[in-house]
A and B are shown apart, each in its own frame.
Chain A
Amino acid sequence: SQKIEQNSEALNIQEGKTATLTCNYTNYSPAYLQWYRQDPGRGPVFLLLIRENEKEKRKERLKVTFDTTLKQSLFHITASQPADSATYLCALEGNYQLIWGAGTKLIIKP
Chain B
Amino acid sequence: DAGVIQSPRHEVTEMGQEVTLRCKPISGHNSLFWYRQTMMRGLELLIYFNNNVPIDDSGMPEDRFSAKMPNASFSTLKIQPSEPRDSAVYFCASRPTTGVQETQYFGPGTRLLVL
Residues of chain A touching chain B, judged by Cβ–Cβ distance below 8 Å, are 31-32, 34, 41-46, 49, 51, 89, 93-98, 100-103
A42-B108, A45-B106, A46-B104 known; A96 and B55 CB under 8 Å?
A: yes
B2 contacts A by Cβ under 8 Å: no
A residues in contact with B20, CB < 8 Å: none
Q: How distant is the Cα of A102 from the Cα of B44 in the complex, in angstroms? A: 10
Q: How distant is the Cα of A102 from the Cα of B93 in the complex, in angstroms? A: 17
Q: Which label, helix, strand, loop or mixed, suits the secondary structure of the B interface?
A: strand
Q: How distant is the Cα of A42 from the Cα of B93 in the complex, in angstroms? A: 12
A97 contacts B106, C-beta separation under 8 Å? no
Residue of B43, B98, B100, B101 near A100 (CB, 8 A) is B43
A96 contacts B42, C-beta separation under 8 Å? no
A43 contacts B108, C-beta separation under 8 Å? yes
Residue of B48, B103, B108, B111 near A96 (CB, 8 A) is B48
Smallest Cβ distance from B65 to chain A, in angstroms? 17
B103 contacts A34, C-beta separation under 8 Å? yes
